[in-house]
């Protein structure tokens, strides 16, 4: 195949000799789980964010579940969150038989609108769960004013910063990161909770490991737990990935700049690009999501791009309009109109650190051709 017809994938991890060496070392050590790489990965991650503690877990979803339990979310509680997210942030609330209460999003940042969130708070609200969607920092500082526990879904936002200079995940609230293969760093599957409260750390460490206390014997358990452990094999991968994080973030920013330049050179009418950083906030680039013009058929666009060797996908659907949520809670169209409009028109374009300027140009050229622009 020539370069021009090779399919450009949506995402692609960067795995090199360092990853191979550290993983091989773990394999040869014979200690594949609960070994020294777990604490080493947690410490390196916590140091990077400037938080006291970190707890590595088996997925971002598992991290959200344990973080919600840690701040005291229980059956019947309400958790205010964003309907424009990956379904895991809301599902984790359901795991505890609590109720996700959605509030609409800000049309520019696509994060939870802080006024809508404030209006959704009731006396049953137990916690707030902002999502830093597409790597753009949610306005957690404004949400802090309510004095409620906050759990941050930072799964898409490694490398992002708030306007006050703190990194996303560095405010001390349990903040959850995800390491699936398309994320800023990957451990294959995996996640981590960054946190400031020692009591949360103790509870999460126990609950990820069947409810075991650190000083307890093998089969003694004093509370309900789960198996949400992350293996040392995965932690070794994570340590290697952290070592190249700055370079990968710089590459992602370079690719985003290339997209912006390509669209700026010949704008597509009514196409909405990811918002620019504003007021000292900094995006940690994760995906390049554009909102198609209202007149365009999104599914046909995705099919036409695929025929031209460009992967893309709807990203993200509105959670409240998923059939499971509609049936369970009676959600319907029109309840969160900004989210619904954005969700109906958004597509993720290929975006990964090794993407070349030539590939970016080809994606933009094909999209323009497909849209007849």
Ligand X SMILES: *Cc1c(COP(=O)(O)O)cnc(C)c1O
Rounded Cα distance, 12 and 354, in Å: 8
Query: Does residue 180 touch ligand X according to CB under 6 A?
Result: yes
Of 155 and 258, CB closest to ligand X:
155
Interface with ligand X (CB under 6 A), residue from 153, 197, 232, 366: 153
Does the annotation count 201 as an active-site position?
no
Contact yes or no for 106/113 (Cβ under 8 A)? yes
Query: Does residue 178 touch ligand X according to CB under 6 A?
Result: yes
For the segment 44-73, give every residue that binds ligand X (CB under 6 A): 59-61
Query: Taking the complex as a whole, how short is the minimal distance between the CB of residue 156 and ligand X, in angstroms?
Result: 4
Query: Taking the complex as a whole, how short is the minimal distance between the CB of residue 168 and ligand X, in angstroms?
Result: 12
Query: Does residue 232 touch ligand X according to CB under 6 A?
Result: no
Assign 3-class secondary structure to the chain.
CCCCCCCECCCCCCCCHHHHHHHHHHHHHCCCCCCHHHHHHHHHHHHHHCCCEEEEECCHHHHHHHHHHHCCCCCCCEEEECCCCCCHHHHHHHHCCCEEEECCECCCCCCECHHHHHHHCCCCEEEEECECHHHCCCCHHHHHHHCCCECEECCCCCCCECCCCCECCCCCCCEEEECECCCCCCCECCEEEEECCHHHHHHHHHHCECCCCCCCCCCCCCCCCCECCCCHHHHHHHHHHHHCHHHHHHHHHHHHHHHHHHHHHCCCCCCECCCCCCCCCECCCCCEEEECCCCCCHHHHHHHHHHCCECCEECCCCHHHCHHHHHHHCCCCCCCHHHHHHHHHEEEECCCCCCCHHHHHHHHHHHHHHHCC
Of 85 and 140, CB closest to ligand X:
85
Rounded Cα distance, 345 and 273, in Å: 12
Q: Give residue number: closest CB to ligand X.
A: 60
Question: How many residues bind to ligand X according to rule CB under 6 A?
Answer: 14
Interface with ligand X (CB under 6 A), residue from 73, 82, 84, 89: 89
Of 192 and 371, CB closest to ligand X:
192
Query: Does residue 241 touch ligand X according to CB under 6 A?
Result: no
Backbone angles phi, psi at 112, to 5 degrees: -40, 125
Query: Does residue 85 touch ligand X according to CB under 6 A?
Result: yes
Catalytic position from the list 12, 18, 183, 313: 183
For the segment 119-148, give every residue that binds ligand X (CB under 6 A): 131
Of 172 and 178, CB closest to ligand X:
178
Which stretch, 107-115, 151-159, 194-202, 320-328, contacts ligand X (CB under 6 A)?
151-159
Which stretch, 29-37, 82-90, 112-120, 325-333, contacts ligand X (CB under 6 A)?
82-90
Interface with ligand X (CB under 6 A), residue from 156, 205, 232, 340: 156
Which stretch, 20-28, 81-89, 274-282, 325-333, contacts ligand X (CB under 6 A)?
81-89
Of 207 and 366, CB closest to ligand X:
207
Query: Does residue 289 touch ligand X according to CB under 6 A?
Result: no
Query: Taking the complex as a whole, how short is the minimal distance between the CB of residue 80 and ligand X, in angstroms?
Result: 16
List the catalytic residues.
Answer: 183
Contact residues for ligand X, defined by CB under 6 A: 59-61, 85-86, 88-89, 131, 153, 155-156, 178, 180, 191
């Amino acid at each position: 195949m020539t370069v021009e017809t090779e399919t450009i994938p949506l995402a692609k991890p960067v795995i090199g000799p360092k990853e191979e060496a550290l993983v091989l070392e773990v394999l040869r050590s014979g200690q594949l789980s609960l070994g020294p790489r777990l604490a080493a990965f947690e410490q390196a991650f916590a140091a990077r964010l400037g938080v006291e503690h970190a707890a590595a877990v088996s997925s971002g979803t598992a991290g959200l579940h344990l973080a919600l339990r840690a701040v005291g979310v229980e059956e019947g509680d309400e958790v205010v969150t964003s309907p424009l997210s990956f379904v895991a942030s809301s599902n984790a609330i359901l795991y505890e038989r609590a109720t996700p209460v959605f509030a609409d999003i800000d049309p520019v940042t696509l994060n939870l609108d802080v006024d809508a969130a404030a209006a959704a708070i009731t006396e049953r609200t137990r916690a707030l769960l902002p999502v830093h969607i597409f790597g753009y920092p949610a306005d957690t500082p404004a949400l802090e004013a309510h004095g409620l526990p906050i759990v941050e879904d930072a799964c898409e936002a490694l490398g992002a910063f708030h306007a006050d200079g703190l990194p996303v995940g560095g405010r001390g609230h349990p903040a959850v990161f995800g390491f699936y293969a398309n994320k800023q760093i990957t451990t294959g599957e995996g996640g981590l909770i960054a946190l400031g409260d020692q009591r949360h750390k103790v509870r999460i460490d126990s609950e990820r490991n069947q409810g075991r206390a650190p000083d307890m014997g093998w089969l003694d358990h004093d509370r309900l737990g789960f198996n949400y452990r992350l293996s040392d094999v995965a932690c070794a991968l994570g340590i290697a990935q952290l070592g190249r994080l700055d370079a990968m973030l710089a590459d992602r920013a370079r690719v985003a700049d290339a997209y912006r330049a390509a669209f700026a050179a010949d704008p597509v009418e009514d196409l909405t690009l990811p918002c620019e950083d504003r007021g000292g906030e900094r995006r940690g680039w994760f995906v390049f999501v554009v909102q198609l013009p209202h007149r365009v058929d999104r599914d046909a666009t995705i099919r036409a791009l695929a025929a031209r060797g460009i992967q893309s996908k709807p990203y993200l659907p509105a959670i409240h309009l998923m059939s499971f949520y509609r049936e369970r809670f009676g959600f319907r169209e029109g309840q969160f109109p900004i989210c619904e409009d954005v969700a109906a028109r958004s597509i993720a374009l290929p975006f990964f650190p090794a993407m070349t300027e030539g590939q970016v140009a080809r994606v933009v050229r094909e999209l323009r051709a497909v849209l007849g622009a």
